[in-house]
Amino acid sequence: MQPVKRAVFLDRDGVININRPHNVTSWQEFVFESGALSALARLAATDFSLVVVSNQSAIGRGQMTRAAVDEIHAQMLRAIERAGGRLDRIYYCPHAPQEQCACRKPSPEMLWRGRAELGVDLTQSFFIGDWIDDVRAARSAGVTPLLVRTGRGLAAQQEIERSALPPPLIFENLAAATEWIFKQTQAATK
Ligand SMILES: [Mg+2]
Ligand SMILES: [Zn+2]
């Protein structure tokens, strides 16, 4: 029997790196969340596909170029790899909300893309995010949502309480969410 392929989807801002109110516009402004690099290194030793799923509407708003975002991602990936981690895909939506694209979260489109490109079973996968739209995207795709309290997580928790959305599991940060996934799945670590 083929083992089930599964993924940990990760939002970027507020999960991997510290959120900035006016977007991370350069590598100089990119600061990893505490414990994020070691959590990613631990995840890298498992069979989970690791996929970043990020809204980068600063591009659609004309505040950043795609090249600038790609450069940040190249640097981010280098830092993650130097720390023993990996990322299998980095997906982002470059559109402003008013463009009404198909990919911007809460749309699950980027999660479906992960399924198409990596063959992962979404029902066996997790999405770690810090905003209600991350939780919505996960729920729409049948992925288990994990909300972290870093970034916009505290505000998200209040938004979710006011919404009809079933509450997600809530964790202090990426490291704690990762820890839970390990316990839950007994993922093999090297
Ligand atoms: Mg975020
Ligand atoms: Zn989009």
Residue 165 belongs to what domain range?
7-185
Residue 110 has pLDDT above 90, yes or no: yes
The catalytic site residues sit at: 11, 13
- C-alpha to C-alpha distance for 83 and 65, rounded to whole angstroms: 28
Asked, for residue 1, whether it belongs to a domain, the answer is no
Q: How many beta carbons lie within 10 A of that of residue 54, not counting itself?
A: 22
* Residue type present at position 75: Q
Asked, for residue 114, whether it belongs to a domain, the answer is yes
pLDDT band per the 50, 70, 90 thresholds, residue 190:
very low
* pLDDT score for 22: 84
Asked, for residue 136, whether it belongs to a domain, the answer is yes
Place of tokens 């414990």: 35
pTM: 0.95
Smallest-distance ligand from the CA of 53? 1
Per residue in 5-19, pLDDT (tens digit) is 999 999 999 999 999
Asked, for residue 137, whether it belongs to a domain, the answer is yes
Per residue in 80-97, pLDDT (tens digit) is 999 999 999 999 999 999
Residue 189 has pLDDT above 70, yes or no: no
How far does residue 74's CA lie from ligand 1's centre (Å)? 19
> How many domains is the chain built from?
1
The CATH number for 77's domain is 3.40.50.1000
Asked, for residue 190, whether it belongs to a domain, the answer is no
Smallest-distance ligand from the CA of 155? 1
